[in-house]
Chains A and B, each alone.
Chain A
Amino acid sequence: DSGVTQTPKHLITATGQRVTLRCSPRSGDLSVYWYQQSLDQGLQFLIQYYNGEERAKGNILERFSAQQFPDLHSELNLSSLELGDSALYFCASSGGQRNQPQHFGDGTRLSIL
């Protein structure tokens, strides 16, 4: 058990809809990372937050946004969903210092019908 909790485990919705994925980091971790895993693109970094502030952005679409709350949990919001957004979305957390290990949750599987 990594200590990172992601909810829900599965999400099925339709094109054009909006969903929110939630992540609770390991106790004591200040940094949260979001990754998307798909068969063709592999694991891709989306965005990182550190202690409530956005720290780094990767290949995140404008339709996607995230935030980290004062209790350090994070939410990833995906809107105007398209079929191609179907993927596994992982959250990872770390202490936030340089190259500290990232611990991954078990992901949310998003299926767009």
Chain B
Amino acid sequence: QQQVKQSPQSLIVQKGGISIINCAYENTAFDYFPWYQQFPGKGPALLIAIRPDVSEKKEGRFTISFNKSAKQFSLHIMDSQPGDSATYFCAASTASGYSTLTFGKGTMLLVSP
């Protein structure tokens, strides 16, 4: 059972455009939602995270939007750059689960110059 569903699998965006990646979850006990960025040959790196008591969090060009009632959250990358080309993973965890992460399947983003 896939508890965090991520879409799209891949995404091509022009430089300067907005990249949008969506995730949906099933477990209402999830209370922490991080996004990770992974470059080839590297481990996932934490990008930005949100808790369900806020609907939006922004850090630089990266914004998480969170819809608790719909059990969905999304990552927006504004002014996308070729250096943003990477695989992005959404994840979720519960406090009772000792913060172990359940990951989405990932989105491969390519930002064309």
Which residues of A pack against B, CB within 8 Å?
A: 2, 4, 31, 33, 35, 42-45, 48, 50, 55-56, 58, 90, 92, 94, 98-107
* B45 lies within 8 A of A104 (CB): yes
Chain B residues with a Cβ closer than 8 Å to the other chain, count:
25
CA distance A15 to B31 in the complex (A): 40
* B97 lies within 8 A of A56 (CB): yes
> Can you pick out 22 interface pairs between chain A and chain B where the beta carbons lie within 8 Å of each other?
A33-B100, A42-B89, A43-B89, A43-B106, A45-B100, A48-B100, A55-B98, A56-B97, A90-B43, A92-B43, A98-B95, A98-B99, A99-B32, A99-B95, A101-B46, A101-B49, A102-B46, A102-B101, A103-B46, A104-B36, A104-B44, A106-B42
In terms of DSSP, what is the predominant structure of the interface of chain A? strand
Q: A43-B89, A104-B44, A106-B41 are in contact. Are A48 and B98 (CB under 8 A)?
A: yes
Residues of the B chain whose Cβ atoms lie less than 8 Å from the Cβ of A48: 98, 100
Contact with A along B46-58 (1 / 0, CB 8 A): 1001010000000
Known: A56-B100, A98-B99, A101-B34. 6 other contacts (CB 8 A): A42-B89, A42-B103, A42-B106, A99-B32, A100-B99, A101-B46
